[in-house]
Amino acid sequence: MPYTQFSLEQIKLNFGIEIREKFGIFANLSEVDYSDFLEKVLERFVPFALEIDTPKSRSEYITAPILFELKSQLKEQISLFSGKDFTVDIEKGLSGFCDFLISYSSDPLNIEAPFIVLVEAKKDNMIGALGQCMAKMLAAQLFNQRRQQDIQIIYGCVTTGTDWKFLQLIDQRIEIDLQDYSITNLGQVLGILHYCVDQVE
């Protein structure tokens, strides 16, 4: 099955993954400043995206600019991929395309060391997208293991653009942060993304 078909129950059954829920895993991290340019872009386009209210509009006008800001801040430290085929193991069902994928590599053309997976929630259904996000996190973990990439934690995020929910995969355990993070506190969202990058170093 492709990533989009996975549910939480299927993740547990198919991969023997332990799933834990915790509140505020990322809540106390330092905020990160962002550019005036990003602030102006979101000020102008968030209302427009919410008026259209499709996953594509939210992705293009909200999520993508935030990730571009992250890329701009971290320069060659990471690469950002969108809509790229990320088929890792067809037999295990780990196949399909990524919404957004962040790699700890300066290569802008090839996915080399994926460690952050972002999934767009359809119809604002954050919970419904968790299975898909987890499947892509497991694919990233397997991808790195096969290439002997020493990345201990894979991070995941399900987002509507305006709301962000974060997860982390450690060995055979996935932890879900029950707290949702909003772009009304954008510095906090960027702070979490920076933290994820820092853990790979």
Per residue in 89-106, pLDDT tens? 999 999 999 999 999 999
Domain 3-200 classified CATH 3.90.1570?
A: yes
In which region does residue 16 sit, left (phi positive, over 0), alpha (psi from -120 to 50) or beta (all else)? left
What's this model's pTM, rounded to 2 decimal places?
A: 0.96
Residue 173 has pLDDT above 70, yes or no: yes
Residue 11 has which token pair? Answer: 């993740």
Task: Give the residue-averaged pLDDT of 146-153.
Answer: 95
Residue 123 has pLDDT above 90, yes or no: no
Instruction: State residue 1's pLDDT score.
Output: 65
Residue 131 has which token pair? Answer: 């299975």
Four-point Cα dihedral 132, 133, 137, 138, nearest 10: -30
Task: Give the residue-averaged pLDDT of 124-147.
Answer: 96
Residue 114 has pLDDT above 70, yes or no: yes
Instruction: State residue 199's pLDDT score.
Output: 95
Domain range summary for the chain, segments of one domain joined by +: 3-200
Task: Give the residue-averaged pLDDT of 4-27.
Answer: 95
Backbone angles phi, psi at 169, to 5 degrees: -110, 120
Instruction: State residue 201's pLDDT score.
Output: 74
Residue 59 has pLDDT above 90, yes or no: yes
